Amino acid sequence: MFKHMSAVFSLFVAASLTMASYGAASAADAEAIKIATQSPLSGDQSVVGVDMKRGAELALEQLGKPLADMGFKVELAPFDDQANPDTGVANAKRIVSDPAILAVVGHYNSGVQIPSSEVYHTSGLANVSPANTNPKVTTRGYLEVNRIVGRDDVQGVVGADFATKLGAKSVFVIHDKTAYGQGIAEFFKKRAGEKGLKVLGFEGTEEKANFDSLLSPILAGNPDLVYFGGMYSQAAVLFKQARERGYAGTFLSDDGFDSSDATKIAGQTLIDGGGSYYSTVSGPASVYPGTAKFIADFKAKYNSDPQPFAAQGYDSMAISLKAIENAAKTNGNATPSREAVAKAIRELKDFAGITGTFTFNAIGDPTVAKYFVIKVNSADPAKWSENTVVETLDIAPPQQ
Amino acid sequence: MNRFLRSINVRELVRPIGQLALFSLGSAVVLSALVLILALILDQTVVGQALQEKLNVSLYTYTLINLPQVVLDGLTIGFVYAAIALGYTMVYGVLEFINFAHSEIFAVGAFVGVEILIALDHTGMLKGASIGMSYVFLIFAILSGMAAAGALAVTVERVAYRPLRGAPRLVPLISAIGVSFLLQDVIRLVEGLTSGDFNRIFPTFGNFDQRIIFGKMALGSTSLTLGVSIKSLIVIISAVLMLVGLNYLVNATRIGKAIRAVAQDRPTASLMGINVNRIISITFLVGGLLGGAAGVLYALKFTRIDPFVGFFPGLKAFAAAVLGGIGNLTGALLGGIVLGMLETFAGSYMGVFTMGAAGSEYKDIFAFSILILVLIFRPQGLMGENVGQKA
């Protein structure tokens, strides 16, 4: 047994020696700069993840010229995080051990970004996130971590403001008792109180099927609007049962509701009465003013329409490239250190991307982020993408 | 024809309906009285004032006007629990062990029924179906769910329990838990391979989602519509039919007599010429049929199912069987109705009575605290007889 172990151990040592010598070899090539992407390239979330990578690839192709002119060879290093925290962290360790990598564009899932960025943080490697909305992504206050989208805790505020705009006087707030859903619901409730809405109730539920007893107080209060913080699988069942019991008001939820399965469950009940709305941090690419050329180029290169977050992938790469260029200039046109790149990202002022103009605050949130409220238009699940954006808002992140 | 009619034991048909009506009415009256008294007391306190401020109505009126709806909701879920609880209690009656796989048999019934309806929906037959045809489809789905669940229950007994018949009582219990996990994962595997979809949705068709409206009642500044959805009625009526049928089978037929004999004393029943293995198989079959039907009805009422759908209803039905006195058929009915009622009353009124501090999310805590209290004072359950353990 012991003999066996020692054999395995020596293999392991040999492997790590090879790895080390490989790392040293690429470090010797001072002219090469790599930018990594991390997103799910396989599995059921790969539809979004692959296009996120493609967006970054396109940006590198179109915007890499200034660095090439300075004598650098800029390369893309795509990694597949499989939407899995373990894989993301393992990739992150490989990424930080390659000194040619100066920035990471990445992660689709907050649950993967948060542990992976701990690894980036230990070696000062800059990370620009195109999609992660959990407040914790930036509230840890790491210099290296930035994002270009909005935050979950603002979504509640967006929802409450929208409810006021619809003319609602009273609301009933329900959440799914997860950090995500309850968080959003609490921010909704707070803002609703500030806006003078009457909050008739605030309840959490893990129930997935039988909402009868929860519906009694809701129906008795007959609020103008019912808000649900959580995922579509619960929200749609609740909304359907509420409508069937004669509730005629409006439903409002968060970006967890953004799935065509919602209409598969609730169908026509979402359209009846006051209708249904949900808030989200990323609209379809076409809603951003600067994306017309991007969509055309993307279609020409990949022969398909860009998925959500592809344009954000493009912008994250553009920001990384610009920051590396700035840092290299300060360094006398030599390869900058990782720390210098991370600082350069924070120092960018009013960077004009295709999904907005970005300046990062002290913790890496964009000073203004876009939020959308979308209306469900059709009871047919196949027509989910035809839902219309009814409101686009620019909101600053909370200062923490 | 006359001879056939005379052979029907009318008493055994009427008796369970009477019992069901009595249990439903009884638990409704007792619980209603309790909440009304509580409302009257709390009306003078800060709780009543808070509600007055919010909805401009006194707590007593609020409680009273909500009552009919709460009782209806409680009955619906109560009958579902009762139908599942009968599966637990029948198996306990003959074998004296808890068939924990019963919750998965319920889930399999639900999945088979829903998958058949989804397949019919894909062919477009559901969309254009007339009201009459949609009932035919629904009944077909329920029967398929029953058949699948019944066959599965018999198979499980044959494969996982019969070889352990002589073993200590804990052994088949562990086997049951194993089967439960196995079935859960098999459903997951099959769904993953075929539909790739974890959540299955009961298709919308027929007039099941419609609601029969009884009237509107003013409630402070708003009004409340009292009504019952057609699917709730279907659940209640089907459950009553099944329960009456089961009661008749057990109390008025030769097979029922054999089941009772095996439950009382297995070796003696076998000496009297009863094929004990066959009777035990039949018991599992009947339990499975009821569980499968309950599964499809559950999916009809609550729309969405996933592979773990059986867990909570199964656990609650087991609790209902214990509350009523496990091994006792009438007790399972009573237990199911009482538990469903308790749960719904707690969920509907706790939020108002505690000023939102403990809302309907805590309904289970309340319902199960009552269960513990009952069992402290009546360990044998509400209708159980205090008999010593059989050797």
Q: What is the pLDDT of residue A64?
A: 92
Contact B225 A209 (CB under 8 A): no
CB contact under 8 A, B62 and A245: no
Distance from CA of B319 to the nearest CA of A (A): 18
Q: Among A147-161, A372-386, B178-192, whose mean pLDDT is lowest?
A: A372-386
Residue A185, both tokens: 């619901």
B53 in reach of chain A (CB within 8 A): no
Cross-strand partners of A36: A77, A104
Q: How confident is the model at residue A341 (pLDDT cuts 50, 70, 90)?
A: very high
pLDDT reading at A13 higher than 70: no
Q: What is the CA angle A35-A38-A41, rounded to 5?
A: 125
pTM of the model: 0.79
| The one-letter amino acid at A125 | L
Contact assignment for A261 to B199 by CB distance below 8 Å: yes
Q: Kindly state whether B32 is in contact with chain A, defined as any CB-CB distance less than 8 angstroms.
A: no
Statement: residue B117 has pLDDT above 80: yes
- Residue B391 clears pLDDT 50, i.e. is over it: no
Element (H, E) at B11: helix B10-43
- Over residues B292-297, mean pLDDT: 95
Residue of B121, B197, B304 to mutate when probing chain A, most A C-beta within 10 A: B304
pLDDT of B97 strictly over 90: no
Count of other CB atoms within 10 angstroms of residue B301:
21
Alpha-carbon span A232 to A131, nearest angstrom? 19
Q: Is B55 on the interface with A (CB under 8 A)?
A: yes
A176/chain B closest Cα distance in angstroms: 10
Give which of A216, A222, A231, A238 to mutate to test B binding, by max B Cβ within 10 Å: A216
SS (H, E, C) chain A: CHHHHHHHHHHHHHHHHHHHHHHHHHHHCCCEEEEEEEECCCCCCHHHHHHHHHHHHHHHHHHCHHHHHCCCEEEEEEEECCCCHHHHHHHHHHHHCCCCEEEEEECCCHHHHHHHHHHHHHCCCEEEECCCCCCHHHHCCCCCEEECCCCHHHHHHHHHHHHHHHCCCEEEEEECCCHHHHHHHHHHHHHHHHCCCEEEEEEECCCCCCCHHHHHHHHHHCCCEEEEECCHHHHHHHHHHHHHCCCCCEEEECHHHCCCHHHHHHHHHHCCCCCEEEEECCCCHHHCHHHHHHHHHHHHHHCCCCCCCHHHHHHHHHHHHHHHHHHHHHCCCCCCCHHHHHHHHHHCCCEECCCCEECECCCCCECCEEEEEEECCCCCHHHHHHCEEEEEEEECCCCC
Q: Is A230 left (phi over 0), alpha (psi -120 to 50) or beta?
A: left
Instruction: Enter the DSSP assignment of B263.
Output: H
Nearest CA in chain A to B223: A220
Asked if B56 has any chain A CB less than 8 Å from its own CB, the reply is no
Choose the closest CB to A212 out of B77, B349, B361.
B77
Q: Does B363 touch chain A (CB under 8 A)?
A: yes
Q: What is the pLDDT of residue A306?
A: 84
| Separation in Å, CA of A111 to nearest CA in chain B | 21
pLDDT band at B278 (very low <50, low <70, confident <90, very high): very high
Chain B residues lying within 8 Å of A208, measured CB to CB = 304, 306
Q: Per-residue pLDDT for B296 more than 50? A: yes
Say whether residue B39 is in contact with chain A using an 8 A CB cutoff: no
Give the confidence band of A173 by pLDDT, cuts at 50, 70, 90: very high
Q: Which of A213, A233, A261 sits opposite B73 (nearest CB)?
A: A213
CB contact under 8 A, A177 and B361: yes
Evaluate if residue A400 carries a pLDDT over 60: no
Residue B68 has pLDDT above 80, yes or no: yes
pLDDT of B310 strictly over 60 = yes
